[in-house]
Chains A and B, each alone.
Chain A
Amino acid sequence: MATTNESLVAAARESTGLATVYRALDDLVDLYALDDAAVVVDVPGFGRQVLHAGRRPLRRDEQGLHAAEPGLYLEPPLDDPVVSRLMLALGTLALRHDAGAATPS
């Protein structure tokens, strides 16, 4: 059975940037037994983007993520600035990567 790290690395090697971010969010939820997770990024060409664990709809967005500053939003909160920065970087890179991959040369 693949460990969390292995499956995340496999996603990064074989899947899209978006799929890798969602894999990472799912891993965070599983690892810390969270109720929810989302990362908000601001990427040139996309603007502010919210990526919600499981690709689930935000619906009424009780957390106000649509207007949130870039960062990692976990429920319950997890005070780990390194994880937050890594997820923010991963989300930004993922969209930049996928946008580049989808652009015809």
Chain B
Amino acid sequence: MSVVSLDELELRLRRLAGVVAVGFVETDDLVLVEVQAGPDADDDLARDATLLAAEYVRGSVAVEVVRWGDGGPHEPEARLRLVDLATDPGVGEVTVRLARGDEEALGRASTAAGLPAAVEATIVAVRTFAPELPYLPGWARTVETTPDRRFLVVASVTDPLTRTHRRGVAEGATPIEGAVRATLSALNRSIARDL
């Protein structure tokens, strides 16, 4: 693993307020750091964990923070969810259907570029609910395939003005589903106030 000192990084992450677990996944060109946190974690946990990870990891690193409340994963009040996902190999298109409450929106993108099409289609659908969304599609990669044939995918989106990157991680029954869910994971927290 391309980490200067894995033990030291893990120890420092575990010392951050509210952190209860730290895990790592490494691919050829990315180190994924998962930080699980309880309800007493600071609001700045994602930033602090990312700064620490960047200090210790050589190359690309993605940090996923999983926050738990008293009874389960923290769910923002306003949250987009994936309703349906379809690919049409004949047309070469992926269609993503998202919902917020009873409202639904579609996003389509050409699959010519491969897995990033899922990120693009998701962003197109998200813009129906958040027209001012500053993020553009970045990339998506499958970082792990589980023994039960589920796909762990990292997706990245970028705000070109602020050069801010947001990355999300999610599982799916297919890489495309994983990429859509990972894109929502990357965006949901930042767009919640606009929904």
Q: Which residue numbers of A lie inside 8 Å of B, CB to CB?
A: 15-16, 18-19, 45-52, 55-61, 65-67, 95, 98-99, 102
Contact = CB atoms under 8 A, between A and B. Distances in A.
A23 B81 CA distance: 40
A19 B7 contact: yes
A19 B5 CA distance: 11
B48 to A, nearest CB: 16
Interface in B99-129: none
A47 B10 contact: no
B36 A55 contact: no
Contact of A49 (B21, B24, B25, B34): B21
20 contacts: A46-B14, A47-B18, A48-B38, A49-B14, A49-B20, A50-B21, A52-B21, A55-B10, A55-B22, A56-B23, A56-B25, A57-B24, A57-B25, A58-B21, A59-B34, A59-B171, A66-B38, A95-B11, A95-B14, A102-B12
Q: How large is the interface on B (under 10, 10 to 19, 20 to 34, 35 or more residues)?
A: 20 to 34
B68 interface: yes
A95 B7 CA distance: 11
B11 A99 contact: yes
B66 interface: yes
A47 to B, nearest CB: 7
Contacts of A57: 23-25, 32, 34, 64
Given A57-B25, A57-B34, 10 more contacts: A18-B7, A19-B7, A48-B20, A50-B21, A50-B36, A52-B21, A56-B23, A56-B24, A57-B64, A66-B21
Given A58-B66, A59-B34, A99-B11, A52 B23 contact: yes
5 smallest CB-CB distances across A and B, nearest first, come from A57-B23, A57-B34, A50-B21, A16-B7, A18-B7
